[in-house]
Amino acid sequence: MAVGAAVRRMFGPYETQVGDLYRSFFVDLDAQLGTFRRWAPDATNILEIGCGEGAVCERLAVDFPAAAITGIDITPRVGRLFHGDPSRVRFEQIDAGALARREPAKFDLILICDVLHHVPWDQHRALLREAHALLSPGGVLVIKDWERILNVGHMACVFSDRVLTGDQVKFGTADYFRGLLADVFGSGAVVDETRVSPWPNNLMLFVRPTRSAPQ
Ligand SMILES: C[S@@+](CC[C@H](N)C(=O)[O-])C[C@H]1O[C@@H](n2cnc3c(N)ncnc32)[C@H](O)[C@@H]1O
């Protein structure tokens, strides 16, 4: 188990609250959710790829009361800390490729939040192509990632990811993410972008594909 998971388990019943407090140093989750709502207010079938233990899905269930929500992750801990109405939210340990083969073109909003810096860079395109195959016609994708901008927040983020999660993380620049998304989803596919407080490193990109998904 990574150091971070072991430390967090020490907090027992307060694990969620401590995790939320810790996250709030890095990102304002209310602002992040507000951006999802602004960009895709009418989403009815939402998928979060790399949902971890379920914190974002929990907020999505509240902020999109009419939507069905699916959270997937490769970790066996997927959805472990979700507290909320389970009737509209499902979690599964499965990779995006396997889900795309089973449920292609199903989701009108797909979110990939703070996942790409955990994925080896030579696998970014494949993961995004799988996300494309999961998008319904007219569906949209939101990428939230941590941009490599040198500041105190970045030093804390590198420490947190490398030491606490033990992952070999690698952070991209906004130009890297823009180019990657244009490559996979077509030129002009990135239709909006914003930063989320409290750090300018919190980059969000809004993608509306301009080419069809690979078959
Ligand atoms: C920093 S956590 C983010 C969790 C969640 N998205 C959030 O914002 O709270 C990164 C997650 O990405 C997951 N992950 C890494 N590689 C993945 C992949 N290829 N497919 C799906 N999830 C992946 C990890 O297991 C981990 O749960």
Q: Is the CB of 92 under 6 A from ligand 1?
A: no
Query: Which of the four pLDDT bands, split at 50, 70 and 90, describes residue 193?
Result: very high
Report whether pLDDT(128) > 80: yes
Query: Which of the four pLDDT bands, split at 50, 70 and 90, describes residue 4?
Result: low
Distance 72 CA to ligand 1 centre (A): 9
Average pLDDT estimate for 108-135: 98
Report whether pLDDT(5) > 80: no
Q: Is the CB of 180 under 6 A from ligand 1?
A: no
Average pLDDT estimate for 205-210: 98
Q: How many domains does the chain have?
A: 1
> To test ligand 1's pocket by mutation, which of 53, 110, 118, 122 has the most ligand atoms within 8 angstroms of CB?
118
Query: Which of the four pLDDT bands, split at 50, 70 and 90, describes residue 2?
Result: low
Task: Write the CATH number for 127.
Answer: 3.40.50.150
Q: Which residue has the least CA distance to atom 1 on ligand 1?
A: 114
215 domain residue, yes or no:
no
Taking the C-alpha atoms of residue 89 and residue 27, their distance in angstroms, rounded to an integer, is 23
Q: Is the CB of 74 under 6 A from ligand 1?
A: yes
193 domain residue, yes or no:
yes
Q: Is 204 helix (H, G, I), strand (E, B) or coil?
A: strand
Q: Is the CB of 114 under 6 A from ligand 1?
A: yes
Q: Is the CB of 95 under 6 A from ligand 1?
A: yes
83 domain residue, yes or no:
no
Q: Is the CB of 113 under 6 A from ligand 1?
A: yes
For every residue of 7-50, DSSP letters joined together read HHHTTGGGHHHHHHHHHHHH--HHHHHHHHHHH-TT--EEEEET
pLDDT tens per residue, range 135-184: 999 999 999 999 999 999 999 999 999 888 888 999 999 999 999 999 99
212 domain residue, yes or no:
no
45 domain residue, yes or no:
yes
Domain around 116: 3-75+88-207
pLDDT for 3: 64
